[in-house]
A = this chain, B = another copy of it.
């Protein structure tokens, strides 16, 4: 690791607290440099039912090696007892079988209903730890410490937890809200650039669906394809604005019956592309980037938004080093067919989130297979 890239004197001015004002289970997202060292205090000072003494940190070996000591020291200094549970890394281990490792650790540590599970890692660790916390003793406390950009701005907020079924992602899951999401932008320094770019796809999404100010701030940055080109101020703004957008949406629609659907911008065709390429060729963020270009093209052909807005979107995607074309050899008909199996299909009708302008989208069921195919043809 390099030394800190933020002057210590500026640290305090750069922290944000974003409230997620759910009626039953309100919580905060804290975004602050060196936040890892302050998590224990935040756990001790939580508003609402206090946490019990026992804390189980769930992570994977490489992340725990990098950040585990600081996190554990902070939690212990606040008076908690900490143990750790390591899971093997990778999507293929996001299964009911791997969950047993967390349950076994919970049993070994004799976790009680007031105890806490802390997820230290990316989206996979967060989803699995959250599901284990949702289901151990019918629900114990849960805290997210996301270490990837994708997890920071998306997966860690909103209470979705789960594991995969051999035949589908996240089919087994639960809604379980965290008591706290603690984000430390400094940990992004060690994130592989391709994973950083994947997270940027979701950040661009928030710009399109919700926040044109964020979108313009991204446009104003000279380069965005690697985290080292992004200023500390812009990074703080990216994280804060993205979390605010997601917090707004999930607060208004906790269980995904309405507004939350707009978070799927770029995800409808994105999921099909991910699935048809076996989740290997393109990662989630790259697929979402492709999906946003496709949705933007459909919106253009329906006269929903202007060519200039569509071009601005695509230019920003390219500036982030994300793809705007379909992977070679991917059959357009197969994509259209795959949309039918999306779990969000309602009564057989594919629903699309389409942009009206930068910062505003709408949901529609009026997209025909022909319009989809035409849009895909422009992306070959």
Q: Which residues of A contact B (CB under 8 A)?
A: 96, 99-100, 103, 106-107, 112-113, 131, 134-139, 160-162, 165, 167-168, 171-175, 255-256, 343, 345-346
A139 touches B174 (CB 8 A): yes
B135 touches A174 (CB 8 A): yes
B174 touches A134 (CB 8 A): yes
B136 touches A171 (CB 8 A): yes
Q: A106-B171, A135-B173 are in contact. List 16 more A-B contacts (CB 8 A).
A: A96-B100, A103-B165, A107-B167, A107-B168, A112-B343, A135-B135, A135-B172, A135-B174, A136-B171, A136-B172, A138-B160, A138-B161, A138-B173, A139-B175, A139-B255, A174-B174
Smallest CB separation, A261 vs chain B (Å): 12
Tell me the complex Cα distance, A96–B135, Å: 12
Interface residue SS majority, chain A:
mixed
Tell me the complex Cα distance, A346–B53, Å: 12
Smallest CB separation, A99 vs chain B (Å): 8
A138 and B162 contact, Cβ closer than 8 Å, known pairs A103-B172, A107-B171, A171-B103: yes
B107 touches A138 (CB 8 A): no
Which B residue's beta carbon lies closest to that of A23?
B24
Residues of B within 8 A of A99 (CB): 96
> Copies per complex?
2
Smallest CB separation, A344 vs chain B (Å): 8
A137 and B171 contact, Cβ closer than 8 Å, known pairs A96-B96, A96-B100, A100-B96: yes
Tell me the complex Cα distance, A171–B133, Å: 11
B137 touches A174 (CB 8 A): no
B100 touches A138 (CB 8 A): no
Smallest CB separation, A135 vs chain B (Å): 5
Select one of B107, B112, B137, B171 contacting A173, CB under 8 A. B137
Which B residue's beta carbon lies closest to that of A53?
B347
Residues of B within 8 A of A113 (CB): 343
Can you identify 16 A-B contacts, CB atoms within 8 angstroms?
A96-B99, A96-B100, A103-B172, A107-B167, A107-B171, A113-B343, A134-B174, A135-B162, A135-B172, A136-B172, A137-B343, A138-B161, A139-B174, A139-B175, A139-B255, A174-B174
Which B residue's beta carbon lies closest to that of A138?
B173
Tell me the complex Cα distance, A256–B139, Å: 11
Smallest CB separation, A120 vs chain B (Å): 22
Residues of B within 8 A of A167 (CB): 107
Residues of B within 8 A of A139 (CB): 174-175, 255
Tell me the complex Cα distance, A172–B96, Å: 12
Tell me the complex Cα distance, A175–B136, Å: 11
Residues of B within 8 A of A135 (CB): 131, 135, 162, 172-174
Which B residue's beta carbon lies closest to that of A341?
B110
The 10 closest A-B pairs by CB, nearest first: A138-B173, A135-B172, A138-B175, A135-B174, A138-B174, A107-B167, A96-B96, A103-B165, A174-B174, A135-B173
Instruction: Find the residue from A112, A137, A160 having the highest chain B CB count within 10 A.
Output: A137
Tell me the complex Cα distance, A23–B26, Å: 18
Residues of B within 8 A of A100 (CB): 96
Which B residue's beta carbon lies closest to that of A168?
B107
